[in-house]
Amino acid sequence: MSAEAYGKYNQKANFKPKIIAKTPSQIERIKNRLNQAFMFSCLEEKEVEIVINAMGEVKFSQGSTVINQGDDGDNLYIIDSGHLDCYKKFSNLEKAKYLKTYEPGESFGELALLYNAPRAATIVAKENCILFALDRETFNHIVKDAAAKKREKYESFLAKVELLESMDPYERSKIADALRPFKYKMNEYVVKEGESGDTFYFVEEGEAIATKVLQPGKAPEIVYKYKAGDYFGELALLRETPRAANIVAVTDLSVVALDRLSFKRLIGPLEDILKRNFARYEKFLA
Ligand code: CMP
Ligand code: CMP
């Protein structure tokens, strides 16, 4: 056994999970929020329980700074109620740049914990907020390895996806947290025309086609072709309609999927690009 592995093993053995007493209603609220937080989606039930035990409710009043860029970080936060603004100082800009507003269900403050780095941005409560805080030690033992591995695994893939070109690399890494991988064999259906759909897909590896019945009573015809880096399944989510085509694997196919909530939160800002891209279906048919 190497020294490093032994050290790690030892740390794990010494880890005594923190338990903060809570009311049943607090536990229920934390559970609901954790279910929506992408970073925790890879945890097993037992690990979720440890995280819930360790989380504490904290309140911040309007205008107070929850995280200050440059500080050391000791907590990650999930928002239960209230909105918060995120700003970042850049060396070439005099004033901190506004980046985004966080809403209930979202989490922040993970970077300092994941990468052992100073806080990368400042987060200020826009109104009175209730947050759930998870301490660094529990995060390190339960969440960190799986979350960091997932970000690393998908970062280079997502960087090559044309749809996400205009996206800030930080926002792209949040997509990595939320992705779920699926595999299909040649000729298998990923999506069936007419069914209801709650999932958006990127092709990770392999090829697929979209087919659709263009003349009633006739066999479906090929209406689009997909390779690695392409996406499909946006129409049902944007328009709340049944699937408008079949998607069929034409080789062994690996896809990564986002559910409706992740799609709305993470891909929502790209809605204009998605809508502009509808034209590609007509172009293909022409
Ligand atoms: P952390 O660095 O721990 O503290 C500040 C948080 O701001 C950071 O984690 C992220 O959760 C969040 N954040 C949001 N947008 C960005 C961004 N573009 N770059 C860095 N951090 C960001
Ligand atoms: P959705 O309707 O959710 O599921 C089937 C997907 O096929 C659809 O989203 C598009 O992403 C894709 N598609 C490709 N070509 C077409 C087409 N000509 N008409 C409709 N959808 C298409």
Q: What pLDDT, in 10s, does the model give residues 19-76?
A: 999 999 999 999 999 988 888 988 889 999 999 999 999 999 999 999 999 999 999 9
Q: Examine the domain organization and report whether 129 and 191 are in the same domain.
A: no
**Assigned domain for 88 exists:** yes
Q: What's the confidence (pLDDT) of residue 38?
A: 87
For residue 260, the CA-to-ligand 1 centroid distance in Å is 24
Residues ≥6 apart with Cβ < 8 Å to 239 = none
Q: Examine the domain organization and report whether 22 and 116 are in the same domain.
A: yes
**Assigned domain for 149 exists:** no
Q: Examine the domain organization and report whether 121 and 229 are in the same domain.
A: no
* Domain that includes residue 128, residue range: 16-144
Query: What's the token pair of residue 155?
Result: 């970062």
Site to substitute for ligand 2 among 223, 276, 282, 284, most atoms within 8 A of C-beta: 223
- 263 CB within 6 A, ligand 1: no
Q: What pLDDT, in 10s, does the model give residues 218-265?
A: 999 999 999 999 999 999 999 999 999 999 999 999 999 999 999 999
pLDDT confidence band for 286 (50 / 70 / 90) = confident
- 37 CB within 6 A, ligand 2: no
Q: Examine the domain organization and report whether 213 and 96 are in the same domain.
A: no
* Ligand 1 atom showing the smallest separation from residue 117 Cα: 2
Which residue type sits at 216? P
For residue 163, the CA-to-ligand 2 centroid distance in Å is 16
| Residue 5: pLDDT over 60 | no
For residue 225, the CA-to-ligand 2 centroid distance in Å is 11
**Assigned domain for 5 exists:** no
In this structure, what DSSP letter does residue 220 have? Answer: P
- 73 CB within 6 A, ligand 2: no
Site to substitute for ligand 1 among 86, 93, 131, 167, most atoms within 8 A of C-beta: 86
For residue 130, which of 61, 36, 28, 50 has the smallest C-alpha distance? Answer: 61
Q: How many domains does the chain have?
A: 2
**Assigned domain for 236 exists:** yes
Q: What pLDDT, in 10s, does the model give residues 92-139?
A: 989 999 999 999 999 999 999 999 999 999 999 999 999 999 999 999
Query: Are 123 and 28 contacting, i.e. CB atoms less than 8 angstroms apart?
Result: no
Q: What pLDDT, in 10s, does the model give residues 77-98?
A: 999 999 999 999 999 989 999 9
Q: Examine the domain organization and report whether 135 and 174 are in the same domain.
A: no
User: What does pTM read for this prediction?
Assistant: 0.88
Q: Examine the domain organization and report whether 57 and 174 are in the same domain.
A: no
Q: Examine the domain organization and report whether 140 and 34 are in the same domain.
A: yes
Q: Is 160 exposed, middle or buried (0-12, 13-18, 19+ CB in 10 A)?
A: exposed
Q: Examine the domain organization and report whether 116 and 43 are in the same domain.
A: yes
Q: Examine the domain organization and report whether 81 and 175 are in the same domain.
A: no
**Assigned domain for 10 exists:** no
Which ligand has the shortest distance to the CA of 239?
2
**Assigned domain for 177 exists:** yes
Instruction: Give the domain CATH number at 107.
Output: 2.60.120.10
**Assigned domain for 101 exists:** yes
